[in-house]
Amino acid sequence: MRALIQRVTEASVTVDNEVCGEIGPGLLVLVCAMHGDDEAAAEQLAAKIAKLRIFKDEAGRMNRSVLDTGGSVLVVSQFTLAADTRSGNRPGFSQAAPPVEGQRLYLHFAEAVRQQGLTVATGRFGADMKVALVNDGPVTIWLDTAQR
């Protein structure tokens, strides 16, 4: 699975002019299931994100996790993280998991983050979403379970 993680002071996702998920301080996680991903990949990614030390400690160093800070996580599906731009000018998305599988793994991932002890809000899989955020830092990190 692929994820783009952004440390935020706040974030929300809106569908059809209705806010369907929002958080205060924490992480916005844009996530994409790839061909061949499974529940174990989703759980591994969730555990890594929950423990990733990218929040400041008392000395101002990035030494605390979202678990340590009591922050929340907004999980938003984003198949465009599978973009292949190696040839031509139009990205290809054939490496993304098929929609039914992608949705299943997206929901499993969100639940796996909850199981880490975090408060989780979500977007709506497959919807045209408007994501608003205030990136804190800015801190933006790319994770891919295939790159172990």
> What are 134's two structure tokens?
């205030």
Cis amide linkage into residue 99, ω under 30° from 0:
no
> What are 62's two structure tokens?
């990035």
The one catalytic residue in 6, 79, 116, 122 is: 79
Look at strands 18-23 and 2-15 and give their pairing.
Answer: antiparallel
Residue-level pLDDT at 55: 98
Q: Give yes or no for residue 102 having a pLDDT over 80.
A: yes
Q: What domains can be seen in the chain, in order of their start residue? A: 2-139 (3.50.80.10)
- Asked about 80 being catalytic, the answer comes back as yes
This prediction has a pTM of 0.95
> What are 131's two structure tokens?
């994501």
- pLDDT-derived band of residue 147, with 50, 70 and 90 as boundaries? confident
Distance from first CA to last CA of the chain, Å, rounded? 11
- The span from the CA of 99 to the CA of 79, in Å, is 9
The one catalytic residue in 6, 78, 122, 145 is: 78
Q: pLDDT (tens digit, 9 = 90+) per residue, 9-59? A: 999 999 999 999 999 999 999 999 999 999 999 999 999 999 999 999 999
Q: What's the chain's average pLDDT?
A: 96
- Mean pLDDT across the stretch 55-67? 97
Instruction: Give residues with Cβ within 8 angstroms of 84, minimum separation 6.
Output: 91, 92, 93, 94, 95
Output the DSSP codes for 4-41.
EEEEEEEEEEEETTEEEEEESSEEEEEEE-BTT--HHH
Residue-level pLDDT at 148: 54
- Asked about 78 being catalytic, the answer comes back as yes
Q: pLDDT (tens digit, 9 = 90+) per residue, 45-59? A: 999 999 999 999 999
